[in-house]
Structure 1
Amino acid sequence: MVVEFKKIPASGIHFETRTGDVHFFGEAVKVDKTLVKCNGKLFGTIQHACDRCAETFCLPIEETVEVFASEGLYTDKEGEELLNVIEFFEGSIDFDMIMQSEIEAFKSDYHYCGQCELLKGE
């Protein structure tokens, strides 16, 4: 799902996209001329290799996502807390790309299959 920055109002719009068994939905609100805040939920299941035994298993995902989309290069302001910002350079926000990015970030943590989860303390 791709939406142009200029079509996102300060009152926000609903977005929804999916890939395979993963569903991503939420609200996108313009907070600045070139910055949009995306609050959403990511849930479903993905195939993942266990980080201990390398067996493939279904990994459930249920994550709250808060990410900012910047139209062009983002420069943080002095004293501003660090933001999770994704920069877009085509004048549009690609929610499918945001979803893929969040899935990859989730997968970068350690995840164990059921068998290895039982052995984790050994």
Structure 2
Amino acid sequence: MAAWQVFTATLAMLAIMAITVMSLHHPTRDPDRLSVDRIRERISNERNTSPDPEPISNAWSHLAPEEPFGVSEAHRTMQQHRRCPVTECARKAAAFRALIDAGRIKPTRMPPALQ
């Protein structure tokens, strides 16, 4: 065989292999997977149905609340202030205390600011 024949045969084999691999690896559609439209609809419904009793300006404040937190408010505050240390953020400390009192958190060691 001449060199050009070997080269052509090799190129043909590589093309056939590439086509075979590409035909075997086609993405399948997962029926349980949510579409973007369904996710947007769900987020829109959650926003419309979940009442937000606190104004946004108070929600991100680090000051202690005027009234004790309920359990759901305390959970939301703990999520909103997840980066704040309990010892430095009075709002997170109040939420932490409310969750302890409700039995939702059982700390192994009590932060000094809450003792």
Alignment TM class, shorter chain as reference:
under 0.3
Q: Which has the higher contact order (CA 8 A, sep 6+)?
A: 1
Find the structure with the greater CA-based Rg. 2
TM-score computed with the length of structure 2 as normaliser:
0.20
Instruction: Please give the TM-score of this superposition, normalised by the length of structure 1.
Output: 0.19
Which structure has greater strand proportion? Answer: 1
